[in-house]
Every structure is written in structure tokens, then in C-alpha cells.
Amino acid sequence: MNIDVVILAAGQGTRMRSDLPKVMHQLAGKSLIQHVLDTANQLESSHIHLVVGHGAEQVKQSVDSRVNCVIQSEQLGTGHAVQQTLPYLRQDSIVLILYGDVPLIHISTLNKMLSLVNEQQIGLLTVELDAPSGYGRIIRSGEGLVSAIVEQKDAKDEQLAIKEINTGILAVKSSHLRQWLPGLSNNNAQGEYYLTDVIALAAQNNIKIETVQPGQEQEVQGVNSRVQLAELERWYQQRQAVVLMEQGASLLDPGRFDLRGELEVGQDVVIDVNVIIEGKVKLGDNVRIGANTIIINSVIGNNVDIQANSILDQTEVSDGCSIGPFARLRPGTKLAEKAKVGNFVETKKTHIGRGSKVNHLSYIGDSEIGEAVNIGAGTITCNYDGVNKFKTVIEDGAFIGSNTSLVAPVRIGTKATVGAGSTITREVASNELGIARGKQRNIPDWKRPEKKK
Ligand code: UD1
Ligand code: CA
């Protein structure tokens, strides 16, 4: 069955008080509209039509080019919005109406609704709310059949008492929309063409309206303000946290954990508070992550200890490594097994070999470090001359004394030693000691200057 998904996203979102179109605001690191698109893309043989208006260009540029963006230049109502897509809807398809600002609708709920649609039936997603104010109310006849939707502003007092509300999400044959949409009127309290009026038209034509309820209320929660966005974000994060805990990760406080992307976890992973995971991240078994750590698009092996306040971005960390606290591993960092990168160490485009250590206060960039190398505190690879970047190679078993500057391109051979405080500008060959620092001179009976009277 062909499905034409119509996503409404032309509204301004005044209450966000933002220059950014509402549907471009992010939830869990992804725009609201992208959440909806990702869900819609899970439906087979679907075409996606996105109705845009306010901030149309910006929204259009942010979405996949396969999405058919349809401009609604004046926002004359939800019925008018859907009407703009009529020329693009396939004959005989089922049209699924979604909202760009309702990001967490679940595929299972949509499938349930879609399965009810045919020439004689419409699927409508409704929910019962204790506080239904603001929403369209579902009107049912004596036999309990849905006969209409009445908007809050058009409702009579007894209708306002109804708790079953219209979520806005519905599925209907395209042939029915072609029949009914052109006949909508805007003779109502808001002077808008209401999509919801098709429900009464359907009932009058003896088409049955089958209602479905979402698995969870948050699935149909719209975002109209930053407060609502924050509430939905927390709910979503809490739900992701539960899934991770079920997969074998301990979150020391699930309320202080943020996953903005996809995280795969092994068993007995322990994540301390305020950890942020972005993009695609994989953690092996027995990984411990200290507080306030950020990990972006990285793969971490088994038995790795990442201590507090570290940042890892596009890195590969092998089994048994130890990182941080306060380490910054930038893109292209690869640590072989049991490597150690300690506090206030920054690395970039660097491979650190098995069992090698960079324990304190160093910058290691564009470097190839062999196995069992020890890099002393305060070592800097001078990889940049202001124009070009150069490589530093440090071979197996080398020992770099503290406070060394390695002016790249430069090579330190196997088991070579560099004396502390050296500025190394040329190769130190295997087993050699390289030392390049001012010679110490001691002056006896040195008198310190005295303060003038
Ligand atoms: C709509 C429903 C209401 C339902 C509520 C659920 C109608 C008439 N009413 O009301 O029954 O309870 O949603 O949240 O449909 N939009 C356009 N173009 C327009 C108008 C709206 O694209 O011309 C988009 C908006 O960007 C928004 C969505 O449609 O994403 C809903 O519009 P909104 O004005 O918020 O509808 P409600 O009054 O909330
Ligand atoms: Ca709304």
C-alpha cells in the first residue's frame, strides 16, 4: 500500500520567541522535524510531503532532498495546508498527516492507525487528557461513533467538558481528501480552514472514524514553547536511560545523563553524572566513565577507564586504556591496548601504541607513537609552523624527558632517550640520548638585589 506522509510545518511558533523556525529546534541533538522524518522513513513505500511556510528556506535546506517541500505561503489553517499537497498525492494512496512539532510519535502507533484505513474508514489518533483545554474535542454520537471534531474556540460549554481530544494525527485515503478538502469553509471562530472538519464530512458520508490511542501520551505532545521542549527532552532522555540500564549499563543518576545520538553499550558499563554522548558511540564491557565527560562519535573497547572531565571526539580507544581526568582527545586519536593518557593532555591525529603513556600536561598532535613509550610531563609536539603541519614519530621504548619540545618533522628512534627540557629539532637515533638545553652554570656567593631605600 502506498503511503503519502504529509507533515505540517508552516506555522511560525511564536511562543518559542526565536529566529529559528520552530521545527528546527533540537531535541536530543536532532531537529524536531528530523525526528518526524526519521519515523516517517520507517514506513515502507512512503513519499514524504513537507508543508513549509515560516522559515521555509531554512527548513528546506535542512532536510533530505527526497522530501517534497510544498510551500504554503499564507497560513490559512491545517485544512488549507494539506490542500497544498493534493497535486502530489498518489491515486489511491493512504495519506498520513503528521506534525513537524510533534517529534516523538512512534512508528507502532502509526502502523496501528494505518491498518484501519480503507475506502470505508479513517484512522484518527485521539487521547484522553485531564486538562483538555486548547485542543479540538472528539464528539461522539449516542452509539459512541465519532461524528465530528470541535475546536476549543468553537466549542459549546458541554463540549468543553469532553476529555477525549484530537491529537491532529490521522490517516485517510487520498481520494477522500480530494473529495472533501476543496469544500472546507473558514466560517468559524478563527477564520481558518480546519482539517478537522473532514471528520464531520466523513461521518455524514457514512465513513467510519476508527480511533487509536498512542502507547504513551508524550508521543503526541506538541512543542509550542521552550518549556514544553525541555519537558519532552527530559522525558526522552529518561526513556533512553532506562533502555541503557536494561542493556547492562549503570547510570549513577539517570536524570543527569544525555544521549544525543546512538549509544551501544556492553555489560557492566558505569556512567557517572553529567555525561554527554553525541553522535554514534560504542562502549565495550566494563567501561567506566567519570563525571562531566563528553564522548562524540567514538569507539571505546573493553575495560577502559575514562576519568572525570574528559572530552573524546572521533577517537578509537582499545581495551584496557586509561584516560583523564581532564584529557582532551581530538579527532583522529587512536589508542592501542593499555595506553594511558593522563590529565591536561591534548591529542590530535595521533596513534599511541600499546602500553605507552602520556601522563601529564602535554600536546601530542600529528604523531605516531610506538609501544611502551614514556612521554614526560609538559612534552609538546611543535607540529605547526604557522602554515603547514608536520609529523612526529616516536618509536618503541623511547623515553621523552619532561618539558621537551619536539619540533616536527622529527623522529625519535627505538629506545632513544631525550633529556628533560630539550628542544629537539633533528632525529635522535635508536639507543641515543638526545639532549638540547642550556648548560647549567652555578655562581657562588650570589647576592640578590636589595630593595632601594
Ligand atoms: C490543531 C487541531 C486540533 C488539535 C491540535 C493538536 C485543527 C483545526 N485543529 O489545532 O484539533 O487538537 O492541532 O495539537 O487542525 N500549520 C500549517 N499551516 C497552517 C496552520 C497550521 O502548517 O496554515 C501547522 C502548524 O505549523 C502546526 C500544526 O499545523 O505544526 C498545527 O497547527 P496549530 O495552529 O498549532 O493547530 P492547533 O490550533 O493547535
Ligand atoms: Ca498546536
Q: How many other CB atoms sit within 10 Å of the CB of residue 250? A: 13
Q: How far is the CA of 338 from the centre of ligand 2 (A)?
A: 54
Do 59 and 180 belong to one domain? yes
User: Which residue has the least CA distance to atom 3 on ligand 1?
Assistant: 136
DSSP-assigned states of every residue in 47-80: EEEEEEBTBHHHHHHHS-TTSEEEE-SS---HHH
Minimal-distance CA residue to ligand 1 atom 21: 78
Looking from the CA of residue 222, the nearest atom of ligand 1 is 14
The domain total for the chain is 2
| Three cell numbers written together for 264 | 551501544
| Atom number in ligand 1 closest to CA 10 | 22
Active-site pick, 54, 106, 351, 360: 360
Using a 10 angstrom Cβ sphere, with 0-12 exposed, 13-18 middle and 19 or more buried, the burial of residue 385 is exposed
Kindly state whether residue 183 falls inside one of the protein's structural domains. Answer: yes
Q: Which atom of ligand 1 is nearest to the CA of 102?
A: 30
DSSP 384: B
Identify the CA nearest to 277 among candidates 305, 251, 248, 303. 251
The two beta strands, 294-296 and 275-283, are parallel
Question: What's residue 415's pLDDT?
Answer: 98
Q: Do 50 and 178 fall within a single domain?
A: yes
> Both 47 and 79 in a single domain?
yes
State pLDDT tens for residues 81-132. 999 999 999 999 999 999 999 999 999 999 999 999 999 999 999 999 999 9
For a pocket test of ligand 1, which of 71, 78, 127, 193 has the largest count of ligand atoms closer than 8 A to its C-beta?
78
Position in ligand 1 atom list of the atom nearest CA 76: 23
- DSSP β-bridge partners for residue 347: 329, 364
Q: Pick from 239, 193, 234: which is nearest to 216 by CA?
A: 239
Q: Are residues 245 and 142 in the same domain?
A: no
Q: Which residues does the chain have with pLDDT short of 50?
A: none
Nearest-angstrom CA–CA distance, 121 and 127: 19
User: What confidence tens digit (pLDDT) does each residue in 43-94 have?
Assistant: 988 999 999 999 999 999 999 999 999 999 999 999 999 999 999 999 999 9
Question: Counting ligands in written order, which one lies closest to the CA of residue 78?
Answer: 1
Q: Is the CB of 76 under 6 A from ligand 1?
A: yes
Residues 6+ apart with CB under 8 A from 153: 188, 189, 190
Q: Does residue 44 form part of some domain? A: yes
Same domain, 82 and 13: yes
153 CA to centre of ligand 2 in angstroms: 13
CA of 88 to the centre of ligand 2 (A): 25
Torsion of CA 261, 262, 268, 270, to 10 degrees: -10
33 CB near ligand 1 (under 6 Å): no
Regarding the beta carbon of 80 and ligand 1, being less than 6 Å apart is answered yes
135 lines ligand 1 (CB under 6 A): yes
Q: Please indicate, yes or no, whether residues 322 and 417 belong to a single structural domain of this protein.
A: yes
C-alpha cell at 340: 594511558
Residue nearest ligand 1's atom 39 by CA: 135
| Same domain, residue pair 415 and 371 | yes
Answer yes or no: do 162 and 278 share one domain: no
Residues 93 and 112 in one domain: yes
- Point out the domain boundary residue: 220, 250, 272: 220
CB of 223 shorter than 6 A to ligand 1: no
CATH code (residue 320)? 2.160.10.10
Question: CATH number of the domain that 140 lies in?
Answer: 3.90.550.10
Give phi and psi for 104, each to the nearest 5.
-105, 20
Domain region containing 66: 3-220
Cα gap 338→304, rounded to integer Å: 8
Active site annotation includes 360:
yes
Q: Are residues 235 and 371 in the same domain?
A: yes
- Give the Cα separation of 207 and 170 in Å (integer): 14
Is 193 a pocket residue for ligand 1 (Cβ < 6 Å)? no
Q: What pTM value is reported for the model?
A: 0.93
Residues 127 and 12 in one domain: yes
Entry field: residues in the chain: 453
Grid coordinates given for 282 = 560504542
Cα of 350 from ligand 2 centre, angstroms = 50
Atom of ligand 1 nearest to the CA of 12: 26
251 alpha carbon, distance to own chain's centre: 19
- Same domain, yes or no, for 238 and 365? yes
DSSP string, 252-296: S-GGGEEEEEEEEE-SSEEE-TTEEEEEEEEE-TT-EE-TT-EEE
The answer to whether residue 447 is domain-embedded is no
11 in contact with ligand 1, CB cutoff 6 A: yes
**Which amino acid residue places its CA nearest to atom 35 of ligand 1?**
11
Residue type, 349: K
Asked if 223 and 25 count as a contact pair (C-beta separation under 8 A), the reply is yes
Cα 217 to ligand 2 centroid, rounded to whole Å: 15
**Is the residue at 450 inside a domain?**
no
Whether residue 444 is contained in a domain is answered as no
Q: Residue 411 and residue 429: Cα distance in Å, rounded?
A: 8
Contact predicate 80/185, CB 8 Å: no
Tell me the CA–centroid distance for residue 78 and ligand 1, in Å: 6
C-alpha triplet 266, 271, 272: angle, nearest 5° = 170
**Cβ(241)–Cβ(220) below 8 Å:** no
Q: Which atom of ligand 1 is nearest to the CA of 75?
A: 23
Cell of 428: 635522535
